[in-house]
Amino acid sequence: MSLTQLSNLPYLAAMIVLIVILVALQRRQPRIAIGSWLIGLSFILASLLVSSFMPIGGWFYVVPHVFRLCSDLLAGIVFMLYTGRPLSRSSRPSLLLLLNVLPLLALEVIYGLDIYYPRPYLLSAVAGVAACILLSIHLRRDWLLPTAQSALWIVIATFALHGNYRAAAYWGLGAVYAAAALRLWSRLRQATLGRLTVCISLLVWSASFFIHPWILFNPRYFPMADLIWTMQKFFVTIGMLLVLLEDKVRENEYLAHHDSLTGLPNRRLMEQHLRAAIQRGPTSVVLIDLNGFKAVNDRYGHHAGDHLLHIVAHRLLNLLHKDDTLARLGGDEFVLITPRNPTQLADTIRAAISPPAKINDTDSVTVNASIGIASLPTTPATEPIDEAASHLLRLADHRMYLEKQSSR
């Protein structure tokens, strides 16, 4: 085993540990989209394993060389098409795009088999151009992507015609990893450390593929280039782990501040919005309680009651303006925080809730609302914001209770 192969072993061990962590995380949190990450990392691990124990020279070098090139390519394809979302959400267009992979796989196999004459490379290039054009016509995509793909295949064919077969193969890999970095940057919309780590690592890895054919002719740079190449596999893995952990933290924060049934802000987040609204200026609290909700639960079951709450929440959301906040306090109680005229808004709310709501295939129910209103015309000069917010909520609750009692 060479010194270069020995230097891969720490990264290999670290990647195995990280993949084990991801598998454990997948079992504990099945909702997180880890499956696509694990597939991509498995290809990276396979490539790293083969390169760590691959013989140098001889006819038996060919098979592991082909396997390593194809593993690197398939890892980049998975990163580009599937990571950042559950595999179950993969669309038909993304599956059809896999047809573009076949010419690239053929290109890597041809080079891995040490075929050094241009015709097979040119046939792969023609097939690649034809595949991207036909798919773009079929999927009715714009022509920017097929033009870029065709330009890449022209560059690959030019390298082959000039006898630089290594560049032809490695530029295909570099383009895939560059595209994966750009796609992940747009797909992982949250500006996080994980997103930055993954995308920069993929770009550096892409650059390593692009310059690899020329590094070999400068032996003094080869150890550094090989170290950078190998490190990116480790950093991509670390970045993926960070992305998944950051997703889980965001999910926990969301669940801590939102109602799990309707997705509306819960009491904790509502109180934060109420304090912020009071600081901005005139604020009104509109407390809404559904009349007849218990009867729906008792007659049709809790599933029907939950569906009714979804319908009511959707109707109330359609009434919101830019500075309004709608929250669910629990049960059948909602609260609306608004700077608008609450009296006119109360009538609008009653009109929105009162139409029949279809709770299953055959049954519709009708409920109405008891509403309590409390307003604060100006930001309090002396009273603390927390006390003002609590006072508004208590007053709105009291008035809502009085209205409910009078309706009975």
Percentage of the chain lying above the pLDDT 90 cut:
34
N- to C-terminal Cα distance for the chain? 87
Q: How far apart are alpha carbons 318 and 206 in whole angstroms?
A: 47
Going by pLDDT thresholds of 50, 70 and 90, the confidence category of residue 2 is: very low
Indicate if the pLDDT at residue 99 is higher than 70.
Answer: yes
Q: Are residues 173 and 292 in the same domain?
A: no
Note whether residue 283 is domain-resident: yes
Long-range contacts of 383-390 (CB under 8 A, 24+ apart): 385/275, 385/278, 385/279, 386/275, 388/278, 389/271, 389/274, 389/275, 389/278
Q: Are residues 253 and 116 in the same domain?
A: yes
Q: Are residues 124 and 246 in the same domain?
A: yes
Q: How far apart are alpha carbons 240 and 237 in whole angstroms?
A: 5
Among 42-51, 139-148, 383-392, the minimum mean pLDDT is found in 139-148
Indicate if the pLDDT at residue 107 is higher than 70.
Answer: yes
Q: Are residues 7 and 143 in the same domain?
A: yes
Q: Are residues 289 and 234 in the same domain?
A: no
Q: How far apart are alpha carbons 130 and 348 in whole angstroms?
A: 59
Indicate if the pLDDT at residue 397 is higher than 60.
Answer: yes
Query: What b-and-e string marks burial along 90-121, b requiring 16 or more CB atoms within 10 Å of the CB?
Result: eeeeeeebeebbebbbbbbbbbbeeeeebebb
Indicate if the pLDDT at residue 122 is higher than 60.
Answer: yes
Half-sphere exposure of 30 (CA within 13 A, CB side): 2
Note whether residue 59 is domain-resident: yes
Q: Are residues 119 and 252 in the same domain?
A: yes
From 360, 254, 368, 256, select the one nearest 315 (Cα to Cα).
368
Indicate if the pLDDT at residue 300 is higher than 60.
Answer: yes
Residue that terminates a domain, selected from 257, 282, 308: 257
- Report DSSP letters for 256-298, one per residue: HHB-TTT--B-HHHHHHHHHHHHHHS-EEEEEEEEETHHHHHH
292: CATH: 3.30.70.270
Q: Are residues 208 and 340 in the same domain?
A: no
Q: Are residues 50 and 162 in the same domain?
A: yes
Indicate if the pLDDT at residue 158 is higher than 90.
Answer: yes
Write down the pTM of the prediction.
0.72
Tokens 């890895």, residue located: 205
Among 39-48, 58-67, 88-97, 268-277, the minimum mean pLDDT is found in 88-97
Going by pLDDT thresholds of 50, 70 and 90, the confidence category of residue 336 is: very high
Q: pLDDT tens digits for 163-195? A: 999 999 999 999 999 999 998 888 877 778 888
Going by pLDDT thresholds of 50, 70 and 90, the confidence category of residue 30 is: low
Q: Are residues 344 and 403 in the same domain?
A: yes
Indicate if the pLDDT at residue 45 is higher than 70.
Answer: yes
Cβ proximity of 292 and 348 under 8 Å: no
Q: Are residues 245 and 341 in the same domain?
A: no
Tell me the C-alpha to C-alpha distance, in Å, between residue 358 and each of 234, 260, 271, 354: 53, 22, 32, 12
Going by pLDDT thresholds of 50, 70 and 90, the confidence category of residue 3 is: very low
For the chain, state the CA radius of gyration: 30
Q: Within a 10 A sphere around the Cβ of 281, how many other Cβ atoms?
A: 12
Going by pLDDT thresholds of 50, 70 and 90, the confidence category of residue 265 is: very high
Residues 285-296 have a mean pLDDT of 91
Among 127-141, 246-260, 277-291, the minimum mean pLDDT is found in 127-141
At residue 220, the pLDDT reads: 77
- Give the total number of structural domains in the chain: 2
Indicate if the pLDDT at residue 297 is higher than 50.
Answer: yes
Note whether residue 395 is domain-resident: yes
Q: Are residues 331 and 240 in the same domain?
A: no
Note whether residue 243 is domain-resident: yes
Q: How far apart are alpha carbons 226 and 224 in whole angstroms?
A: 5
Note whether residue 262 is domain-resident: no
Note whether residue 208 is domain-resident: yes
Cβ proximity of 73 and 173 under 8 Å: yes
Q: Which structural domain range is residue 378 located in?
A: 267-407
At residue 63, the pLDDT reads: 84
Going by pLDDT thresholds of 50, 70 and 90, the confidence category of residue 224 is: confident
Residues 379-392 have a mean pLDDT of 81
Note whether residue 50 is domain-resident: yes
From 163, 166, 148, 153, select the one nearest 211 (Cα to Cα).
166
Residue that terminates a domain, selected from 257, 279, 314: 257
Query: What's phi and psi for 172, nearest 5 deg?
Result: -65, -45
At residue 96, the pLDDT reads: 58
Indicate if the pLDDT at residue 31 is higher than 60.
Answer: no
Among 87-101, 167-181, 215-229, 381-395, the minimum mean pLDDT is found in 87-101
Percentage of the chain lying above the pLDDT 70 cut:
87
Q: Are residues 78 and 209 in the same domain?
A: yes
Residue that terminates a domain, selected from 257, 289, 312: 257
Positive or negative torsion for Cα 27, 33, 34, 35:
positive
Tokens 């109707």, residue located: 315
Q: Which residue has the higher pLDDT, 279 or 133?
A: 279
| Mean per-residue pLDDT over the chain, rounded | 83
Run of H or E residues at 186? helix 165-187
Query: What's phi and psi for 286, nearest 5 deg?
Result: -115, 110
Q: Which residue has the higher pLDDT, 123 or 28?
A: 123
Note whether residue 163 is domain-resident: yes
